[in-house]
Chain A
């Protein structure tokens, strides 16, 4: 199975900060990587797919990059509504795998 390692597991940031989260796959997954945002008690929301394609309706301050094994989610200017947990997911092969999550907290 493809292992997905996400880091950091948590971070503290202030509104307006630039935030970067990374995911590393244990093997080449091309660009078959998605990023999700989840708030407490609510289902995950798709932010980015194909490593860098913004899902419809998602603010442009979110961006994704990478291919192969190394991927990055960047929030360019953190807003209050962005405090949440973020997950990456590989959809290159089965079993599908998620990263362990990154909780973005208010500093």
Chain B
């Protein structure tokens, strides 16, 4: 089955760290660009980060730049988001999402995980 499954969410104190994972299956993970998108409770979607298929190109939203690090392990079919210096405003459901077509520089997201909840609170 073609799917993305996130894990690693939970409750963390302000200033803390957390590492999210996204396990891919059913497709050639190493060929696809990947993204993290988040959604605060009751709010809209916010793009967080992008990583190219090889990992050589990375982009971040200004709101997380310098605090979050995206990475991938193509041998393990996995995407990661290392989050540090967490703030209350980082509280959200975090989704991993796949670009529609491998190798494209302009693409929508055709596959999404179920999401993992991150709560930043003392």
A94 and B50 within 8 A (CB): yes
B47 and A95 within 8 A (CB): yes
The size class of the interface chain B forms with chain A is 20 to 34
Interface string of B105-122 (1 = CB under 8 A from A): 011111011110000000
| Interface SS majority for chain A | loop
A97 vs B37: C-alpha distance when bound (angstroms): 10
B113 and A49 within 8 A (CB): no
A43 and B46 within 8 A (CB): no
B112 and A44 within 8 A (CB): yes
A87 vs B62: C-alpha distance when bound (angstroms): 21
Q: Chain A: residues with CB nearer than 8 A to chain B?
A: 1, 32, 34, 36, 38, 43-46, 49-50, 55, 87, 89, 91-92, 94-101
